[in-house]
Chains A and B, each alone.
Chain A
Amino acid sequence: GAGVSQSPSNKVTEKGKDVELRCDPISGHTALYWYRQSLGQGLEFLIYFQGNSAPDKSGLPSDRFSAERTGGSVSTLTIQRTQQEDSAVYLCASSLTGDSYGYTFGSGTRLTVV
């Protein structure tokens, strides 16, 4: 596509439920990143995918968080048993080369856990 597409744009869920957030990167971009911004905080790195390499999951805050990238394209971030502290804007970005230059961001998913 022309840009990075994220869905849903807003999600309200009850504490304890699982949620899936989707990111559709720019076609041909080999690198895909997930970040989140909690209220008053900076953008926090979550996970990085580069081509067929094993993803860097070092930013995932707990084992309730997982992500996959199918066919080197679409990525899904799954949060199991959501907690109120998971409330944040989740941003996806893709990059042609993965060297931190030329990020293109999606417009984010605002997750609210009630």
Chain B
Amino acid sequence: GQNIDQPTEMTATEGAIVQINCTYQTSGFNGLFWYQQHAGEAPTFLSYNVLDGLEEKGRFSSFLSRSKGYSYLLLKELQMKDSASYLCVVMDSNYQLIWGAGTKLIIKP
């Protein structure tokens, strides 16, 4: 079966750095996405990785290792508004999107 694992919940302090990990086992691989979802709202696109390495976009970076079936989302200089769920999504060989259950990130002052 196809599976995506990410921690259920994480807590971090305002101004700090947090890394949210994602491991996946899918039928093939055509890219990995990270989405942010605030409570009661729709997901919004954060990043896309298809090649190994780090993609940096402002305070957010996303890393991919295809050989390890592993990705992480790195958030720097955390702000209270970063409190949200972060969803790891893999596109398989049939271009189907496989969604993780999301990691709820709680930011404390």
Are A and B genuine complex partners? Answer: no
A residues sitting closer than 8 Å to B (CB atoms) are none
Contact residues of B with A, CB < 8 Å? none
